[in-house]
Structure 1
């Protein structure tokens, strides 16, 4: 059978219970090429998709510019079967039709491995496998590939497949990403436990927004207490602050395994406003460094929203979508990848390539939907960071400036109060509803901002937000790569957080008379982990300490007349959990204290923001 032979029929074997090594059985739908209602003879390359979100459900990400109705997993399987593949859609352990207990992320590699071993024994499987999926369905792919299953040939990773869950996706910079909390609550309500009407009613009666205002939580005293397996795994991650053996499990930490992962040609796709942006960039670098084949696409997208031109309140223009820019659409891109890796007789290694959307350059007007038109263009290079960029430092000054020249010595003091955290306005967020929303926004508090109260002012008006900005740029300034702040500080608290946010600060205009402060990327550092992620150490009062705070990489063109802005604060809630600043164990600090922190600026080792600028 050729890669392009037309198959008009299919057959579905529903709810096949695939046995796993510990006796648990995983519900799997197998879709096969067919004719006249009977499977075609012969064996086929086989594609596996594993999900905790219901193997039969529609995925909101499975749309195109011209087709806004999401496809179901079953529809995707039918299309792939008609293209000559056997397709397995499987519920993860403890989810929907599968047996067992769900423990988020853990054990997924072994379950996938045993599934492929079972498939190899079926007469419809030719022993060659590909895998695909978004988010959790990408995490399970890398967990599987690290185990080197027989016959695996390729992966199609969309926005996931942990490079390092401790540094993106579950925790970051030592802090805990609270999207894990909203995800756990939502999916506890969809879990097998919620088939009990009493459990369903108890979970449904909880108000997650009110509970966020009552943090910190405790085991048995949280909105998840009605679904103990969800509460237990959540607290296991939340309370485990140090980078210990748990975080180094292969399901959560694929960074040491690129020599293995490089065996499998991999397609990578993600967006700048996606929590897994850095994961995909690190995968691309790691696979290339290990001699593997990888292709990368990074758009200005929210999680899985690759056919949408806006993220938050900002629009990036009609060319910002995947459709007709990278491929005709997502379906054809995925199929072409599998055809080239599983069917083509000429499927030798191809040169690695990265394509990314450099945001910026638009006219800044407000469109008919109320979005600011930021614009942008696609770029391409074999390397990340791009070969045409180099590190460029802006020094922080005592009067709130960012300048290329070394700054004069200065000190800035500010106080942070855990009872009054800086509210989250956008960012690389998914699954945060109803307390937070991802994307790009003007950094101004509104009545819709979680935890906000009148007066509704710019975040920059807060005394605990330090703003540093360049002079209006004389010419366009393009960046693509990592974002880091190097600084020296001291504090009177045993622990505190330092958050940073890179902002494209547009001047006043007719549509935005107060200007527009658009968030590009952000980061955080919990100071107890400043020297060693695995060995927390409390701060000594008044002792100067050099630290580095990393934000997720980004690509943006700052237009002439705009200003490059860096905001520094002590919290970003509810994106991250709030540090009580008391030095108490992670996830349960109840003795909050106000901290006074000092930034020591200027001189040859003064604070500097390092960007990767186009030459």
Structure 2
């Protein structure tokens, strides 16, 4: 690198190991922090698939991780290190000067970073389940009453994945909830401090990750941008979609692919035999075509110049609940239209706004939190949890529509507007949209959450619940859950205003939601085909 640090990479060339093709060719670069040679990301299998299509593959441990030198510092070096790595590739005998990038999550982020560097040899990227805002702690401006709710993984990640060169396996005792104290116990046990954690807690120093300040301010790169309907990081991806729309040079080369998958690559319609935590090499190989072929088809056009860019769809998306992939010129698709449903005092979702206002209450008890439905939020579709039992809790409000008469296709944004208040200083509000089958089981299909400060004064909040592409089958109904904790996926409120990561004194809070009247709870959905009851 430009500062003298050496980063380690594995080079995969087409051909048999003893007859490798070292002639100049197109290169796919993968820059990741999860061990370029390890089993978790199975890069050797991915590289084999790419080299079978004639690509050279260079897989690199990012700075400070595994075999690479430098400090393990989250995010901030990836723009310059991406540029320098691409520059190094172009100088090798096996490179023809054309580079593409591929990868998920953090190694999707490294693609956005390399693209922001402006290196002219980078011809196309294929970031999946990621976002340019990946990972940093949530911040709230002093004048703002609302902010996002903090994930527990925000502080867990620099303690485990980016503490030092290795990947450290540790998690708190979730019953104790004094997370900061447990982190210090862990640091003492390791015998060293982690640079990334100390820069984020307790007094965050958020170093700029993009030197230009805007990852989409400069030269654009054709991007195949994959979002998962059940990816817990999807809000970050959708935020980037909106930012790209405001940059015409990027928007012209932005191709959106939306699939029914989660962050760890499990799909809604997977066979039960493939819903296993440790997938065999045979299972991994069987999954490679659907995982890699879209990128290869994209690179064929934008890296190799075979085919017309105009023939690549702007949007390719899966209507979840079916195995159908659709192509459209825009997202949401042409013809999709918003509809509104109101929550009523008798627990219904209705097309009619209730005239009379009511205010149901529930208790947020820090000693009895609403549990997260999936054991691993990153692998939601591994367990496909039934969320119907959550609706039986006294601290969860539930609202149901009538059953659908005929299939209804939902395609586009989902949001909720609600007026809430609490007798405590800070209120977290979670809204979940479910598909309830005739047998009573419920699958979560959209979600959103927001944190309200000065919550003793009622406020109307808008909750972005992301986007949805989903077929609500005939006879199924929609259900909305509203509650105040989702633990341990999100840091829970103490009820006293104390920092949730530090914990401290706690108190139950009474939360209030307004139904009916001008401040009625309203859910806005986007319907493409069919009619909701």
TM-score (normalised: structure 2)? 0.83
Whether the 8 Å contact between 2:26 and 2:56 is mirrored in structure 1 is yes
Query: How many residues are treated as equivalent by the alignment?
Result: 508
Question: What residue number does 1:371 align with?
Answer: none
Q: 1:225 to 1:130 in 2, by over 3 A?
A: farther
Question: What residue number does 1:423 align with?
Answer: 371
Over residues 138-162 of structure 1, what are the superposed CA-to-partner deviations in whole Å (9 max), with x where a residue is unaligned?
Answer: 0111011112123111101122243
CA–CA separation in structure 2 for the residues paired with 1:380 and 1:46? 28
Question: What residue number does 1:545 align with?
Answer: 459
CA–CA separation in structure 2 for the residues paired with 1:410 and 1:312? 44
1:268 aligns to 2:225 (yes or no): yes
Q: 1:439 to 1:546 in 2, by over 3 A?
A: farther
> How far did 1:50 drift?
0.7
Q: 1:343 to 1:437 in 2, by over 3 A?
A: closer
Moved over 6 A (4+): 311-315
Whether the 8 Å contact between 1:301 and 1:311 is mirrored in structure 2 is no
CA–CA separation in structure 2 for the residues paired with 1:504 and 1:278? 20
Question: What residue number does 2:150 align with?
Answer: 176
CA–CA separation in structure 2 for the residues paired with 1:142 and 1:563? 39
The 5-angstrom pairing of residues 32-43 of structure 1 reads 32-33=13-14, 37=18, 42-43=23-24
1:138 aligns to 2:108 (yes or no): yes
Question: What residue number does 1:442 align with?
Answer: 386
Question: What residue number does 1:492 align with?
Answer: 423
CA–CA separation in structure 1 for the residues paired with 2:55 and 2:273? 40
1:609 aligns to 2:530 (yes or no): no
Question: What residue number does 2:319 align with?
Answer: 358
CA–CA separation in structure 1 for the residues paired with 2:166 and 2:127? 30
TM-score (normalised: structure 1)? 0.73
CA–CA separation in structure 2 for the residues paired with 1:282 and 1:313? 34
Question: What residue number does 2:278 align with?
Answer: none
1:46 aligns to 2:20 (yes or no): no
Question: What residue number does 2:344 align with?
Answer: 397
Whether the 8 Å contact between 1:219 and 1:225 is mirrored in structure 2 is no
Whether the 8 Å contact between 1:479 and 1:555 is mirrored in structure 2 is yes
CA–CA separation in structure 2 for the residues paired with 1:23 and 1:603? 65
CA–CA separation in structure 2 for the residues paired with 1:258 and 1:192? 30
> How far did 1:396 drift?
1.4
> How far did 1:309 drift?
2.7
> How far did 1:504 drift?
0.9
Question: What residue number does 1:527 align with?
Answer: 452
Whether the 8 Å contact between 1:238 and 1:586 is mirrored in structure 2 is no
Question: What residue number does 1:24 align with?
Answer: 5
Q: 1:167 to 1:563 in 2, by over 3 A?
A: farther
Over residues 348-385 of structure 1, what are the superposed CA-to-partner deviations in whole Å (9 max), with x where a residue is unaligned?
Answer: 4545432222234xxxxxxxxxxxxxx56433322222
1:411 aligns to 2:359 (yes or no): yes
Helix, strand or coil for the counterpart of 1:80? Answer: helix
- State which of 488, 501, 505 in structure 1 corresponds to 2:432: 501
Question: What residue number does 1:69 align with?
Answer: none
Question: What residue number does 1:460 align with?
Answer: 391
Helix, strand or coil for the counterpart of 1:246? Answer: coil
> How far did 1:131 drift?
0.8
1:583 aligns to 2:497 (yes or no): yes
CA–CA separation in structure 2 for the residues paired with 1:35 and 1:314? 31
Question: What residue number does 2:279 align with?
Answer: none
CA–CA separation in structure 1 for the residues paired with 2:320 and 2:260? 7
CA–CA separation in structure 1 for the residues paired with 2:274 and 2:466? 19
Bigger CA drift: 543-552 or 134-143? Answer: 543-552
CA–CA separation in structure 2 for the residues paired with 1:602 and 1:179? 37
Bigger CA drift: 266-275 or 88-97? Answer: 266-275
CA–CA separation in structure 2 for the residues paired with 1:423 and 1:437? 17
- State which of 88, 91, 96 in structure 2 corresponds to 1:118: 88
Whether the 8 Å contact between 1:193 and 1:227 is mirrored in structure 2 is no
Over residues 577-615 of structure 1, what are the superposed CA-to-partner deviations in whole Å (9 max), with x where a residue is unaligned?
Answer: 111132234632312221112112212332101111125
Whether the 8 Å contact between 2:418 and 2:462 is mirrored in structure 1 is yes
Q: 1:584 to 1:144 in 2, by over 3 A?
A: same
Over residues 240-289 of structure 1, what are the superposed CA-to-partner deviations in whole Å (9 max), with x where a residue is unaligned?
Answer: 79xxx8387439x99x433536x211112232121233344444554455
- State which of 502, 509, 529 in structure 2 corresponds to 1:595: 509
1:296 aligns to 2:256 (yes or no): yes
> How far did 1:39 drift?
6.3
